Amino acid sequence: MPRLRLDVVLTLLVLAALALAPLLGFGANHYLTLFARIMILAAAAVSLSFLVGGAGLASLGHAAAMGVGAYAVAILDAHRLTDITIVLPVAIAAAALFSLLTGAIAIRTEGVNFIMITLAFGQMAFFTASSLAAYGGDDGYTLYDRTGIFGSRLMENRLFFHYLCLGFLIFCWGICAMLLASRFGRVLRAARENPLRAQAVGFAPYPYRLLAYVIAGTLAGLAGVLFANATEFVAPAYMSWQRSGELIFMVILGGLGRLSGAILGAVLFVLLETWLPSLTTHWKMIFGPLLILAVLFMRGGLIGFLGARRG
């Protein structure tokens, strides 16, 4: 096996920093809110990286699966069902089913068509959410309660929630890495690089890709559950194609070829998105070109950049 890679070391450092941050004077609420956003979006980005970089399925509707998880929390909340014993199975089932149904169709297509059809499904989810008048419609829905854990209100403990998000991020990273290394992942990687070759050794890519799509969607749905709890609010914007685009951007910014890239990309993206508005109200004028420059001059993302500098 190759030596411990720089991107993995860097990612482990980031995770360690996040683990220690509350103990090192970054325990104020506004920091924890920022960290939660970073960790949850990073987890969603990792699941997307598994899909794009691993299986070669560039979904532009990944936020929809995340939104389905978030809306599962909101809709159950409106019916005063807030315990994890109900929320979690429902959210998982909803996100998996949504991914299964949309994926079953989308994966029949390839390349640009796949991107467009996932975008279309994402927008369908977005407009469906906007039309849910009982659950806030366009305006979104404010939760009565965070999700309870077997009757306790642990989720409201900011520190607990911080480590829960961190744990979930590590879980996503670990499970995606494990899947990519497995027999299943080997077939996915082979089919991404050379689908005809995969078929010529006996693997029809479709069922493998569909399962990968469902797994990634389910992980995104779980991220959505956390996101709803972090903001105590759910809105159609969670499902919008802009959010899907941001997730793709985090993946590309970090480096498409490695799962750790998604984590680094998400950290950088959210930090910039948070820091730049403090400089000027026209911060998007800086943010946009910065992202374009990053893509132009950092081939292979942050990881590629670091690797090139080093090598």
Partner 1 sequence: MAEALLSVQGLRKHYGGLAVTNDVSLEVLPGEIHALIGPNGAGKTTLIHQITGTVAPDAGRVVFAGADVTRFSLPRRVHAGLARSFQITSIIAGFSVLENVALAAQGKSGSSFRFFRAAAGEEALNEAARNALAEVGLADRAAIIAGALSHGEKRALEIAIALATQPRLLLLDEPLAGAGPEETEKLITLLRRLKSRYAILLVEHDMQAVFALADRISVLAEGRIIASGSTAEIRASAEVRAAYLGEEEVPC
**Residue ranges in 153-212 that form contacts with partner 1 under rule CB under 8 A:** 178-179, 181-187, 189-190, 193-194, 196-204, 208, 211
CB of 155 to partner 1, least distance (A): 29
* Burial tier of 276 (Cβ tally within 10 Å: 0-12, 13-18, 19+): middle
> Which residues in 224-241 are b (16+ Cβ under 10 Å) and which e?
bbbbbbbbbbbbbebbbb
- Report, in Å, the least distance between residue 198 CB and partner 1: 8
For the CB of residue 54, give the shortest distance to partner 1 in the complex, in Å: 12
* Nearest to partner 1 of 203, 287 (CB atom): 203
Contacts of residue 296, defined as CB under 8 A and 6 or more positions apart, other chains included, come to none
4 touches partner 1 by CB under 8 A: no
Output the smallest distance, CB 179 to partner 1, in A.
Answer: 6
Q: Which is nearer to partner 1, 138 or 193 (CB)?
A: 193
Question: How many residues belong to the site for partner 1 (CB under 8 A)?
Answer: 24
Sign of the torsion formed by the C-alpha atoms of 275, 277, 283 and 284: positive
Nearer to partner 1, 86 or 211 (CB): 211
User: Residue 180 or residue 253: which is nearer to partner 1 going by CB?
Assistant: 180
Nearest approach in angstroms of CB 100 to partner 1 is: 15
H or E element that contains 138: none
Q: CB nearer to partner 1: give 54 or 67.
A: 54
Task: Give the DSSP per-residue string, 56-115.
Answer: ----S-HHHHHHHHHHHHHHHHHTT--BHHHHHHHHHHHHHHHHHHHHHHHTTS-HHHHH
Please check whether residue 63 is in contact with residue 247, taking contact to mean a CB–CB distance below 8 angstroms: yes
- Nearest approach in angstroms of CB 118 to partner 1 is 23
State the number of CA atoms in the 13 A half-sphere of 206 facing the CB: 7
Q: Rank residues 215 and 228 by Cβ distance to partner 1 and give the closer one.
A: 215
Instruction: Give the integer Cα–Cα distance in Å for 10 and 265.
Output: 12
Our finding on whether 112 is near partner 1 (CB under 8 A) is no
Which residues contact partner 1 by CB under 8 A? Answer: 178-179, 181-187, 189-190, 193-194, 196-204, 208, 211
